[in-house]
A and B are shown apart, each in its own frame.
Chain A
Amino acid sequence: GAGVSQTPSNKVTEKGKYVELRCDPISGHTALYWYRQSLGQGPEFLIYFQGTGAADDSGLPNDRFFAVRPEGSVSTLKIQRTERGDSAVYLCASSRDPGGGYTFGSGTRLTVV
């Protein structure tokens, strides 16, 4: 696609529920990144994919968070047993190759009530 697409744009879920956030990167971009941003903060790194594999998942806060990119394009960030502290804007970016300039999607605002 022409840009990075993230769906849904907003998600409200109850504490303890499971959520999936989707990212559709720019066609041909091999690198894909997930970040989380809280109000007034810079984006916090979560995970980086090169192709289908997670090249760096050191930013995932705990084992409730998991992400996949099975065909090297679309990625899904999965959060189990959501907690109120998971509320944030989840941002996805892609780049043509590792270390290349990022293009961000508009983000998914997750609210856990």
Chain B
Amino acid sequence: KQEVTQIPAALSVPEGENLVLNCSFTDSAIYNLQWFRQDPGKGLTSLLLIQSSQREQTSGRLNASLDKSSGRSTLYIAASQPGDSATYLCAVLSDMRFGAGTRLTVKP
């Protein structure tokens, strides 16, 4: 059974820092992975979808990479802003499994 782990569970950084969120999975036979953002009391908003044939995807200040051989995906956020404060979740779509998320706080 696929297990998805996100470390750290919570992260607090000052505004302007570049940061990396980690997502690891136990079964490398995946064919895509998606990153989401969730604001308190809200639904999930898609950030980036990485297909198995791709190694990374970029959108604005966000970059997500996928290394199936090591069972890992990372979400890189450049020049963080207070508005980036939210919980970030990764999902292995082929197994329909989510991590527990990383709760990010960006302090002004």
Using CB atoms and an 8 Å cutoff, list the residues of chain A in contact with chain B.
33, 35, 40-45, 48, 56, 59, 91, 93, 95, 99-107
- Min Cβ gap B79→A in Å is 26
Q: Which residue of B lies closest to A101 (CB)?
A: B49
Binds A, one of B14-22, B39-47, B69-77: B39-47
Q: Are A48 and B96 in contact (CB under 8 A)?
A: yes
- Known contacts A43-B89, A101-B34: A106-B98 contact under CB 8 Å: no
- A93: chain B residues at CB < 8 Å are 44
Which of these, A42, A91, A105, contacts B99 with CB under 8 Å?
A42
Q: Are A107 and B43 in contact (CB under 8 A)?
A: yes
Which of these, A102, A103, A105, contacts B93 with CB under 8 Å?
A102
C-alpha spacing A106/B45, complex, angstroms: 9
- B91: chain A residues at CB < 8 Å are 43, 102
Q: Are B34 and A99 in contact (CB under 8 A)?
A: no
Q: Which residue of B lies closest to A40 (CB)?
A: B100
- Min Cβ gap B25→A in Å is 13
